[in-house]
Amino acid sequence: MDTGSPNTMNAGQQHVLERPGGLRVEITDLGASWVSCKVPLRDGTQREALLGYEHLDRYLGGEGCFGATVGRYANRIGGARYRRQGVDVQLIANQWGNQLHGGPEGFNHRRWQVVRADARAIVLGLHSPDGDQGFPGAVDVRVRYALDSDFSVRIDFEADVSRETPLALTNHALFNLDAEHSDCRGHRLQIAADRYVPVDAQRIPLGTLAPVPADFDFRRAHRIDRDFLASGQQRQADGYDHAFLLDPACRSGERPAAEVESTDGRLQLRLYTDQPALQFYSGNFLEGVSRRGGGTYARYAGLALEPGLPPDSPNHPEWSPWSDCFAQPGAPWRAFLRWEFRSN
């Protein structure tokens, strides 16, 4: 399987998944990224739900990680190191001395191999060798994008490892459900979580799992801007960039982990997953990133909801089961997320 050289000069391929009268989705092998999601509205128009780059080649490790498959470990690992069974493992740092989204040449920097594709689904694969970004063991990863129904997209991750290694894969789509992708903070958001992970200024956990305070309480849907920058936790991150611990009932995949509604109320999105945590990022650092159609995005132009594990889980085994992040040889690792769209 292709190792997905991070320095590839290939232009990349783009694949369309489409259902007549339903969603039209575009995927690229660059970072195994979700490029576009056009949703039909009741009035016969289409609305683009994803932020995206002007040029396809930007999906290879581009700033913003639009739609990328991120790993080996999505989210942050403090000090770019962890200790396991008395052994210290040093990873490659890429943000403030920590490791973010698998390191400077994480999976979003690789050109993936297209394993198979048709009009309804595409499977991409990647081989990550032993020692990649400091991680022990080789990993063979597959990600499948599929139109699960006329109005839903399902993403399945599967991986096999040669040695015990931390693993947390997710998709880094940034959504804006409005007709104009200017500011996502008018969206209504609901998250099925009564606890979250407080962090320091580098977004590394303080070591506690805490009940959600008022400005982090999305158990009932409300506008994102209602309590925006209301506390020190938000102000040090310039917005939301925090992990929420999902209600265990969500992990069956039958109950939504999160729900989003556009500012004008015309488009809704539900997220289903089997993962224990959800990173909510309010697009705090999108200012100046090149955008589809030309120009650049503004700060808070889109929001990410990333199912996975809490940040720094390899260093917090005491958080089990929220932090159970070590994949084992002979036991295929799997995760899924499903996005369901509804139009009013």
Active-site residues, by number, are 172, 306
β partners of residue 37: 25
Q: What is the rounded CA–CA span in Å between residue 96 and residue 124?
A: 31
3-class state of residue 115 by DSSP:
strand
Position 77: which residue type?
Answer: I
* Residues 6+ away with beta carbon under 8 Å from 318: none
Q: What is the rounded CA–CA span in Å between residue 321 and residue 336?
A: 17
3-class state of residue 80 by DSSP:
helix
Least Cα distance to 101 among 309, 297, 327, 291 occurs for 309
223 contacts 185 by C-beta, under 8 angstroms: yes
Count the Cβ atoms, other than its own, within 10 Å of residue 55: 11
φ, ψ (nearest 5 deg) of residue 30: -80, 105
Parallel, antiparallel, or unpaired: how do β-strands 326-327 and 304-308 relate?
unpaired
The C-alpha torsion from 52 through 56 and 60 to 63, rounded to 10°, is -40
- Name the residue with tokens 């990550």: 128
Position 315: which residue type?
Answer: N
Least Cα distance to 263 among 147, 175, 166 occurs for 175
Q: What is the rounded CA–CA span in Å between residue 127 and residue 138?
A: 7
